[in-house]
Structure 1
């Protein structure tokens, strides 16, 4: 389950810092890909999160496209926000970790709804 190891917690902190420190939660595609790669590594081996990992992979691919489909990327961000919120609300999620996940969910949702 998410939040069960130091790498996951580190990725959450790094992601929140990167998104909060940039103007209006914007990061470059290269920064986003680095964050996604970190998450994919952190979540490796957790079969409960295969769907989340799959969507992260889709987002990574979409960001690397010669002409990224912004609409599709926004859809993925909103979907990831929903999944992140669900993990935060899971009965076995605990501690300050859940607050960070809720913050990340809000940021992802905001990014996904930007025009």
Structure 2
């Protein structure tokens, strides 16, 4: 991770949402837009392909009527764990490591609040 300007922008934008404490006000539609941004940014990055299935599953759950809060919580927890693993991987570069660790903590915190 860290080779794509779109990945960098998505990481910054996502951290801003969580850092500013706005995550409680994020609607399912906004969550879907964030996920779509991540899916676009991650195209062609083999280091994080394993996140795509979970992102798609979360996207589908956010669009479901009714959505399953327990499933959303589980998926968010899984994404937090996998994000932490990416941060700790040998392919993680420089400042990306700290940012990814912050993202993993934010995702875990959000998951725990559901």
Same fold (TM over 0.5): yes
Cα distance in 1 between the residues matched to 2:56 and 2:108: 18
Deviations 1:65-110 (A, max 9, x none): 1111000000000000000000000122121111111011001111
Preserved CA contact (<8 Å) 2:84 2:104 = yes
Cα distance in 1 between the residues matched to 2:18 and 2:86: 20
Q: CA RMSD in A?
A: 1.3
Question: Corresponding residue for 2:12?
Answer: 13
Matched, 1:78 2:77: yes
Preserved CA contact (<8 Å) 2:47 2:91 = no
Specify whether residues 45 and 98 from structure 1 end up closer, same or farther in structure 2 by C-alpha distance, changes over 3 A only: same
Cα distance in 2 between the residues matched to 1:38 and 1:6: 12
Q: How does 1:42-53 map to 2 (within 5 A)?
A: 42-53=41-52
Secondary structure of residue in 2 paired with 1:44: coil
Q: How does 1:18-57 map to 2 (within 5 A)?
A: 18-23=17-22, 25-26=23-24, 27-57=26-56
Secondary structure of residue in 1 paired with 2:60: helix
In structure 2, runs of 5+ residues without a counterpart are none
Preserved CA contact (<8 Å) 2:80 2:107 = yes
Specify whether residues 31 and 70 from structure 1 end up closer, same or farther in structure 2 by C-alpha distance, changes over 3 A only: same
Cα distance in 1 between the residues matched to 2:47 and 2:102: 22
Secondary structure of residue in 1 paired with 2:66: coil
Cα distance in 1 between the residues matched to 2:34 and 2:18: 10
Q: With structure 1 as the length reference, what TM-score do the two structures score?
A: 0.91
